[in-house]
Amino acid sequence: MKAIQIHQYGGSETLTYEDIPRPEPAPEQVLVRIHAAGINPIDWKIRQGWLKEVFPYPFPLVLGTDMSGVVEKVGAEVTTLQPGQAVYGLVDMTLSGAYAEYGLGYATTIAPKPQTLSHLEAAAVPVVAQTAWQALFEVGNLQASQSVLIHAAAGGVGSFAVQFAKAKGLTVIGTASAQNLEFVRSLGADTVIDYHTSDLSAARGVDMVLDPIGGDTQARSWELLKPGGILVSTAAPPDPTLAEKHQVRGTMIMVQPRSQLLSDIAALIDAGKVKPKVSQVFPLAAARQAQELSQQGHTRGKIVLQVV
Ligand SMILES: NC(=O)c1ccc[n+]([C@@H]2O[C@H](COP(=O)([O-])OP(=O)(O)OC[C@H]3O[C@@H](n4cnc5c(N)ncnc54)[C@H](OP(=O)(O)O)[C@@H]3O)[C@@H](O)[C@H]2O)c1
């Protein structure tokens, strides 16, 4: 099968388009014929070797987790998915990643694909939508009538967070650059802030800040929270002394993919409540250009690789 592999850590030149053997599922695994794979920043962070202490993957490594495709084969112990079923979710890079014609994963992180989405659109959903959901409702515990400031609201995590928050009846303030303000408004944000030209005072008094950026963005956010509020970061662990100083909480989350959550999100998508935004599509062989674009940090919605 065709796959994008790395044989060592490094720049985008380490991504190579190769022919490799098709993997076979063990009894508890699922083999998916991948139609589309989503690009996530963690893919190029892994490629750069930034996470090698946390995730010591073996080489050669097929990158990518987000995918949409059709179940090709299931192991003898898999009872929830059948060959021929259209699915989306995460394959497992330690087995065989998503930038390939076939990927291997576990049924616990794969679910039936949203019926109203193409494979290209469905591949844009799994990691970012589950991250946004878990940040807002499982960690932030937000309820209707509360308010949230969503940084990087035009990005993968942010664009889902805005839509989920609005669907739950929250007041949403989003930050973006000038060229993305209208896009963030179209997702439902009540207020949009150009983070290059405006201060963040319009967000003062929010119940939660969702921070997919870290650094200065996180540092400027503490004073915007109401006492007892929470800052949830997907990018950098918050400083507990700053949280204490502002009488708020701060935490960093790691997404916990679950097939049930993927099914719940698929139901929201099929009910027309949320929709992914695919801004660029590249063929599998052009994964290098796709990652370079992601690495610039200004993706609107998602970048997706077309495999079939
Ligand atoms: N911990 C986890 O489990 C987890 C899960 C998913 C993602 N993440 C991490 O979360 C981060 C975000 O992921 P993502 O997929 O949403 O990334 P992404 O789609 O690449 O984010 C791009 C967006 O960031 C915006 N942006 C860049 N700098 C900004 C700033 N200073 N203020 C506000 N917006 C800014 C850009 O908007 P403009 O072009 O308008 O500037 C762009 O739309 C990444 O670091 C990723 O690795 C972690």
Ligand 1 binding pocket mutation candidate from 180, 298, 300, 304 (most atoms within 8 A of CB): 298
Report the nearest atom of ligand 1 relative to the CA of 154.
43
- Residue 30 CA, ligand 1 centroid: distance in Å: 30
- Residue 211 CA, ligand 1 centroid: distance in Å: 9
Prediction pTM value: 0.98
Domain boundaries, the chain: 2-125+276-306, 127-252
**Dist CA 124 CA 66 (whole Å):** 7
Tell me which architecture the domain covering 2-125+276-306 has in CATH: Alpha-Beta Complex (3.90)
Strands across the sheet containing 249-252: 191-194, 171-176, 147-150, 206-211, 225-233, 249-252
Q: What's residue 192's pLDDT?
A: 98
Which residue's structure tokens are 């995730």? 55
Average pLDDT over residues 173-196: 98
Residues 162, 187: contact at Cβ < 8 Å?
Answer: yes
Report the nearest atom of ligand 1 relative to the CA of 128.
6
- Residue 283 CA, ligand 1 centroid: distance in Å: 23
Protein residue with least CA distance to atom 32, ligand 1:
152
What are residue 11's phi and psi, to 5 degrees?
-75, -175
Residues 281, 306: contact at Cβ < 8 Å?
Answer: yes
Report the nearest atom of ligand 1 relative to the CA of 294.
20
- Residue 249 CA, ligand 1 centroid: distance in Å: 21
Question: Do 2-125+276-306 and 127-252 fold alike per CATH?
Answer: no
Q: What's residue 154's pLDDT?
A: 98
Residues 130, 156: contact at Cβ < 8 Å?
Answer: no
Per residue in 209-267, pLDDT (tens digit) is 999 999 999 999 999 999 999 999 999 999 999 999 999 999 999 999 999 999 999 99
What are residue 241's phi and psi, to 5 degrees?
-70, -35
Ligand 1 binding pocket mutation candidate from 125, 177, 186, 294 (most atoms within 8 A of CB): 177
- Here the tokens at position 238 are 């918050």
Protein residue with least CA distance to atom 33, ligand 1:
152
- Residue 299 CA, ligand 1 centroid: distance in Å: 8
- Residue 212 CA, ligand 1 centroid: distance in Å: 5
What would the CATH number be for the domain defined by 127-252? Answer: 3.40.50.720
Q: What's residue 16's pLDDT?
A: 98
Q: Where are the beta strands (DSSP E) in the chain?
A: 2-6, 16-19, 29-38, 61-62, 66-74, 86-90, 102-106, 110-112, 147-150, 171-176, 191-194, 206-211, 225-233, 249-252, 278-283, 302-306
Which residue's structure tokens are 């990018």? 235
**Dist CA 156 CA 124 (whole Å):** 8
Average pLDDT over residues 122-146: 98
User: How high does pLDDT run on average in the chain?
Assistant: 98
pLDDT band at 174 (very low <50, low <70, confident <90, very high): very high
Q: What's residue 291's pLDDT?
A: 98
Q: How far is CA 75 from CA 105, 110, 281, in A?
A: 11, 14, 32
Per residue in 85-116, pLDDT (tens digit) is 999 999 999 999 999 999 999 999 999 999 99
**Dist CA 78 CA 205 (whole Å):** 48
pLDDT band at 133 (very low <50, low <70, confident <90, very high): very high
Four-residue CA torsion sign, 240, 246, 249, 252: negative
Q: What's residue 161's pLDDT?
A: 99
Per residue in 27-72, pLDDT (tens digit) is 999 999 999 999 999 999 999 999 999 999 999 999 999 999 999 9
Q: What's residue 101's pLDDT?
A: 99
